Structure 1
Amino acid sequence: MIRQAVPAEAAAVHALVRAAYQRYVPVIGVEPAPMTDDYAARIAAQQVWVLVEDAALAGVLVLEERADCFLLDNIAIAPDRQGLGHGRTLLDFAEAQAWRAGWNAITLYTNARMTENIAIYQARGYQLRDRRVEKGFDRVYMVKPLAT
């Protein structure tokens, strides 16, 4: 089940994201941005969705509607639940949310050194749009047109 996160889950959301991204610390040399995000503020802004399985958080999704795009800001799966299709489920949900909000495309970014993520997104139809350094991170922006 996917639902919006509630304020009482901020710590659990943060812990799941930290666990999911921990493996990237040696790859990029610092903690990825999602590890230090303010999830209480994100939840208050209604930007956080959780995937619940067997009464436990299995995944986290942060979606942000900006003036210029619908942004998939973060997707994280609990380490013990990776490889079970939850990432695909959350990507499908994010794309549907963008469509429901009236967007004909969805944008995301990932660290340029997270090459396996780039490959996953390309296989899902995301196209490279931009590469820039922001907040000290080398980011690759990707966009996917949504079906009409």
Structure 2
Amino acid sequence: MATESIEIIPMRAGHLDKINVIEQQVFTSEAWPIKTYLYELKENQFAHYFSLLKDGLVIGYIGLWIVIDDAQITTFCIDRAYQGEGYGDKLLSHCIHYASMRCIRISLEVRESNHSAIRLYRKHGFVDGGVRKAYYGDGENALVMWRYLS
């Protein structure tokens, strides 16, 4: 019986075509263009991005900025075909561990209506920190969540 191969590796420019497909599928109007990711990977000294590969195929990704001792998750997504199978949990755990080696706290914004993501973040120790009114292009609020790292 074959077992799947799961890897979390630094995001590469070669991953961006698949990431763009996932972005368009999941985020639609809020999808980042490939040029934004290229800037993040090549120019932004604060950026740290990771791809989750299953059997060599990109099925998810996460990005964070680290500034001094604060980390902020900037993007996080799992391909719809693989959601609900624990891949998001693995990727978020990796990100938290990575940030904990460098930072005191980590934060993110999430749509108030994204209950499955909010449950995942709370499972990983994030707490509500406030609301950003009309944060998204469609006017939906963002819940700001924080976690102190040990």
- TM-score of Structure 1 vs Structure 2, range by shorter chain: 0.7 to 0.9
1:5 matched to 2:11: yes
Partner residue, 2:3: none
Structure that is richer in helix per residue? 1
Partner residue, 1:145: 148
Whole-angstrom CA distance in 2 between matches of 1:112 and 1:11: 29
1:13·1:39 contact (CA, 8 Å) conserved in 2?
no
Partner residue, 1:66: 67
| Cα distance, 1:67 vs structure 2 | 5.2
1:110·1:139 contact (CA, 8 Å) conserved in 2?
yes
- Which TM-score applies when normalising by structure 2? 0.79
1:14·1:39 contact (CA, 8 Å) conserved in 2?
no
Partner residue, 1:82: 83
Whole-angstrom CA distance in 1 between matches of 2:54 and 2:84: 14
When residues 120 and 75 of structure 1 are mapped into structure 2, their CA distance, relative to the original with a 3 A threshold, is: same
Partner residue, 2:32: 36
Whole-angstrom CA distance in 2 between matches of 1:66 and 1:135: 24
Whole-angstrom CA distance in 1 between matches of 2:136 and 2:114: 17
Partner residue, 1:17: 23
2:105·2:148 contact (CA, 8 Å) conserved in 1?
yes
1:2·1:51 contact (CA, 8 Å) conserved in 2?
yes
Report SS of the residue matched to 1:129: strand
Percent identity for Structure 1 against Structure 2: 18
CA RMSD in angstroms comes to: 2.0
1:72·1:107 contact (CA, 8 Å) conserved in 2?
yes
Which 5+ residue runs of structure 1 have no aligned equivalent? 23-30
Whole-angstrom CA distance in 2 between matches of 1:48 and 1:118: 21
1:125 matched to 2:128: no
- Number of residue pairs matched by the alignment: 136
2:59·2:82 contact (CA, 8 Å) conserved in 1?
yes
| Cα distance, 1:78 vs structure 2 | 1.1
Whole-angstrom CA distance in 2 between matches of 1:68 and 1:109: 18
Whole-angstrom CA distance in 2 between matches of 1:3 and 1:116: 25
